[in-house]
Structure 1
Amino acid sequence: MRTINKLIAAALLTIATCHPINAQQNMKNVLNQRQQNIVAIACFEAKGDLENLFGAIYTGLDEGLTVSEIKEVLSHLYAYTGFPRSLNGLGVLQQVLADRKAKGITDKEGKDADSLPEDFDALKEGTVVQTRLSGAPFNYTFAPATDYYLKAHLFGDIFARNNLTFPERELVTVSALSGMKGVALQLKSHVRGAKNMGLTDAEIHSIPEALMQKVGEAEAYRAKKAIAEVYGEEFKEGEPIESRVFPIGEPNTAYAKYFIGNSYLAALASGEGKLHVSNVTFEPRCRNNWHIHHKGGQILICVGGKGWYQEWGKQPQELNPGDVVDIPAEVKHWHGAAADSWFQHIAIGVPAEGASAEWLEPVTDAEYNKLK
């Protein structure tokens, strides 16, 4: 046990000191740099993740967003995420600007919204905007006061501010709602609204990838699911890993023939004199074949989702974040995700001269479907 603890401690130290790995570094989408930064700022504001919001605003300013545009993103969101998160976000923006000023960085203020004409009719104009966004007239007769606030204030006063375009405002809203639990209906409504307001199909379909790279898997999952449902596209169900700390990495193509389903691999530490440490991500129902580690065993540290581990001749063991599995050398076993959940574990190869892995038969659907 002492040896195992030393290996785990060494692995965690190696992970902590290595350079962070950016998941899906070669992101392929049509959103430009400016749009991607808007996605990140909006989503972190909605999550209340002020530390990462600080970094996202910093990057946005570095990459060309103006102070006015970021203010408008955060102000727009009070209608969707509430005043507390919006005001917190604006407070973070103030902190970023103070920090940058102290470093001698001068940021471009940008153009504020134009003043509205004296005869501006917020209710009339807002009704037109809401109808366009919804695709049809919408009247919330159950709560007439709320119906008025939506039309006159949100779609009237706020949408009339022209330092963000209508498509940009819907990009902000979809990104923010993707960062929130329990708002799937509103998220789908705004995916449709984004299309109606002028975001292209390609831009809308690029939002999940921007979220994956800049925010996280759970947020990307929510966006992808909503988009698929709105567009009538096939979508594979399965709960995301809600608090992903480690990167997903790239499709595990080199070992795909030894897996049923899709898996992803991110090397966290490797090379001469280092433990071989990787993060392995399994989609729902994905599992590797039965296999044996010869001479050197393996340690699994479960970090996200729900999974399974089984040794030959023994009962399956459910795995949850925080579980550690010490796999001795020469023991036949398999591991993978639960049927209804993504799963991540850190895999640490126990060093041994001449260590190797022997891949055996698949875990059949008949075997796997018995898991409860």
Structure 2
Amino acid sequence: MNRAFMSTNRMAPGWPHSGFGVKHPILLAPMAGAGGVELAIAVARVGGLAALPCGMATPQQIEAEVARFRAAVDAPLNLNFFCHTLPDAPDDRGWRTLLAPYYAELAIKPGDPPPLRRPFSAEWADLVEHLRPELVSFHFGLPARDLLERVRAAGAFVIGNATSLAEGRWLAERGVDAVIAQGWEAGGHSGHFLTDAPEQIGLFALVRLLTETLPVPVIAAGGIMDGRGIAAALTLGASAVQLGTAFLGAPESLIAAPHRAALASARAERTVMTNLFSGRTARGIRNRLIDDLGAINPAAPPYPHASAALAPLRKAAEAQGRDDFTPLWAGQGAPLARAEPVTEIVERLAYEALKELSR
């Protein structure tokens, strides 16, 4: 694929031309559970690069969403997949014991667990070959070599996610076309995969480490909420930015009403890394579960099994307008989020960034 997608000349009065035809170097973060086809369509229509999260969906659901996207807009699309190793079902009796008082309080029973987040597989490779998305991005590393080659052969521009210099090098050595620099500030799941825990590197340090070392474009992600943040990332060497939290307040996002309320409150100033909601570290706004059990609790089963026992609690609490058991994913820049339509968000970000870069 043409790496001119994120090319040079960032200080020009207009954005660099993209090999994929997007107007702005702004990528929509996939955000499984929060991002969907309506958000993707809205971002694409206003000149950003759209994405669909596939980690919590079935191939049939993604095929339907891609069809809706293609019918609505003529624009490139990024399909995002997880590459974790799915562990066997653990002994989660300790975890369920911790949650038992909440079940009693809400007068509910555990019920059937939701489908697990499935890693990239031959079935997903089949879908990529069928749908032929312009871009495919991976979280938690990369799939097996044969599966990755199938993605490349389908013509996709391949993007990996790094939380450290070592991960960036690892991805570049395996031939990715671009690397996302995911800083410690980022909301949602940390994409670390070479270590058991993220190295806690801030975005700007990580961007400089990667841009000075890697032979491929670097996309900055984590804590960027306005045009000044975009301009700063580009000035430090990033070829584009990926934003998630900045779009959470948009009416096109899928977050529940309690999540929107938390995002618009003073609580958004207190994001923490927690393993409670999935079994893997992810950044979100504090809520009752975190306050009660601590942000990191060893009783939480490994990713993605922790979410199974929480699902009925979340559903019952959200029906009452409460976020006690909802993963309120958001980055450290969450207090800067605005409840605006996507069109207004992207146009404002682009105007602010160009204003800063033109100085």
- TM-score, normalised to structure 2, is 0.29
Greater length-normalized contact order (CA 8 Å, ≥ 6 residues apart): 2
